[in-house]
Amino acid sequence: MKNIVEMNHITKTFPGIIANDDVTISLREGEILALLGENGAGKSTLMSMLFGMYQPDSGEIMLHGNKVEIKDPKDATDHRIGMVHQHFKLVHNFTVTQNIVLGVETVQGVVVKMDKAREEIIALSQKYNLNVDPDAKIEDISVGMQQRVEILKLLYRQNEVLIFDEPTAVLTPQEIDELLEIMIQLQNEGKSIIFITHKLNEIKKIADRVSVLRKGVMVGTHHVADLTIDEMSELMVGRKIDLNIHKKPAELGETVLDVEGLTVASNHGNSHAVKGINFKVQQGEIVSIAGVEGNGQRELIHALAGMMPTVSGTINLLGNDVSHKSIRYRNTHGMSHIPEDRHRDGLVLDYRLDDNLVLKKYFEKEFNEKGFIKFNKVNQYGDYLIEKFDIRSSEGIKTKVRSMSGGNQQKAILAREIDLGQDLLMAVQPTRGLDVGAISTIHHLIVEQRDQGKAVLLVSYELSEIMNLSDRILVIHDGELVGEFKPEEITQQELGLYMAGAKRGVVSE
């Protein structure tokens, strides 16, 4: 089997960091090659050079045995290379069709010919069971559907080399299975695929070979069939990782969060996103909300955190009705919140790391005197959290958060929220898009909070995470709680039936 892509001795540096250090990698025709590595290992940087978004400092790129220079993404498209980015590159107020043809429009005179493009998009959507509405606006469709639009962009451009950067990080279990089937279908049609992922079970399912990057250095390429999941995780992080979650039996204390009759409006349409739900979370337990994305989880958490108003019902935090209190009031009276979207709601990306770490404390006496921030105290606090939570960055507290890897951005949020010392920790998708090493660390921190007597409310679309971390599982469907279980009482398959609305049970109040 001959190579379609070769990247030889590629080096790329940024201020304070070597992202890729003399990396050599090859992709064979018609194979799925997994590219594995921790957050910040240099995977996305390497593939961004293949797609023309960055230029290597040294090294060469070969396509079909010929040396090429890929100066920009248009060059890459001309070479029939396409990339689905981890953070989608879509124009939110454009339709699906407009996004797909953007940059490769068919023009007659000064008029863009959309009808023929729309027909092609419908045909491709049907062929690959993508079920995308060509006339829908991006802002009105789910994250999973947006990813399908990105895949249609590749298919419409007739790309031969397809790069998927963390494609399952934002998908539900059902959507992940569908995507993996699409990738196998594309491979069967002769496409060559590079699959960047942290999810070792997905590599075992569909990849032929796996290339492993560690701290910017290529540590080897192996046939997937020759490796176990434990061996892959050890290659990735350079040490053995205990993927099991160790929890002692729950020791329940007082009720920390008591939600009664909570109704929250929807951002889309007239129906309510959350419909009169009741539940409690006590000290010393992890309660998980399980459900297919888009069934009211986001609105529920936003209402609990004070980020959107309630229609009716009460939110009691430590016996205190906070239903109409400000976000800051909740943060200073018992609530910590790890948000789903770390970029939009968790961090100020162009602030320094220490500024982000003190965001919820800068107004306290320790850091503030007569309206002036004590920067030396902020610096000391930043250094303390960086060391305590092993947050890695190129310039320590001075690092712009935007330049940090996703795993270290997430660790920064956890450090800030956990160090608040509040009684309730709300964690939404805390490990989305992270590698096994970072996931293991974050799971340990969450269980540690529970064992210290905190109440933890977890929202996750990873069923394995819910089954392993939870003491109790609440299932949400169409804005209602339709079941309550202990993880040992239910299988993932049966849980999926409740999540899909095929079964309903009783939820204690």
Residue range 271-330, pLDDT digits in tens: 899 999 999 999 999 999 998 877 899 999 999 999 999 999 999 999 999 999 999 999
**Which of the residue ranges 28-32, 173-177, 380-384, 464-468 would you say has the lowest mean pLDDT?**
173-177
CA distance 97 to 152: 10
Confidence at residue 317, expressed as pLDDT on a 0 to 100 scale: 97
Burial class of residue 504, CB neighbours in 10 A (0-12, 13-18, 19+): middle
**Proportion of the chain above pLDDT 90, given as a percent:** 58
State residue 242's pLDDT score.
67
- Residue the block writes with tokens 């996305």: 44
Contact 201, 228 (CB under 8 A): no
Backbone angles phi, psi at 135, to 5 degrees: -100, 0
Structure tokens at 263: 């109704």
Segment 26-30 long-range contacts (CB within 8 Å, at least 24 positions apart): 26/221, 27/3, 27/161, 27/192, 27/194, 28/1, 28/2, 28/3, 28/4, 28/192, 28/208, 28/209, 29/1, 29/2, 29/3, 29/4, 29/190, 29/192, 30/1, 30/187, 30/190, 30/191, 30/192
- Give the mean model confidence (pLDDT) for residues 410-415: 93
Q: Output the pLDDT for position 435.
A: 73
Q: Is the pLDDT of residue 365 over 60?
A: yes
Lowest average pLDDT, out of 47-51, 106-110, 255-259, goes to 106-110
Check pLDDT > 70 for residue 109: no
Reduced to 3 states (helix: H, G, I; strand: E, B; else coil), residue 445 is: helix
| pLDDT above 90 for 377 | yes
pLDDT of residue 111: 67
* Lowest mean pLDDT, pick from 65-79, 123-137, 240-254, 271-285: 240-254
Top-level CATH class of 3-237? alpha beta
CATH fold match for the domains 3-237 and 243-334+425-436+452-509: yes
Backbone φ and ψ for 13, nearest 5 degrees, come out as -120, 150
Mean pLDDT, to the nearest integer, of 409-420?
A: 93
187 or 106, greater pLDDT? 187
Give the pLDDT score at 170.
64
Q: DSSP labels for 373-387?
A: E-HHHHHHHHHHHHH
Question: 133-166: per-residue pLDDT in tens?
Answer: 889 888 887 777 888 898 899 888 889 999 998 8
Query: Can you tell me whether residue 155 is helix, strand or coil?
Result: helix
Cβ atoms 151, 128 nearer than 8 A: yes
pLDDT at 182 over 60: yes
> Residue 479's pLDDT is what?
93
Identify the CATH assignment for 243-334+425-436+452-509 out of 3.40.50.720, 3.40.50.80, 3.40.50.261, 3.40.50.300. Answer: 3.40.50.300
pLDDT above 80 (res 433): no
Domain ranges in the chain are 3-237, 243-334+425-436+452-509, 343-421
Above pLDDT 70, what percent of the chain?
96
CB 252 within 8 A of CB 283: yes
pLDDT band (50, 70, 90) for residue 107: low
* Residue 268 identity (one-letter amino acid): H
473, 481 in Cβ contact below 8 A?
A: no
- What is the Cα–Cα distance from 154 to 360, expressed in whole angstroms? 42
Is a pLDDT exceeding 70 seen at residue 419?
yes
pTM of the model: 0.71
Flag whether pLDDT at 509 surpasses 60: no
Report pLDDT for 401: 93
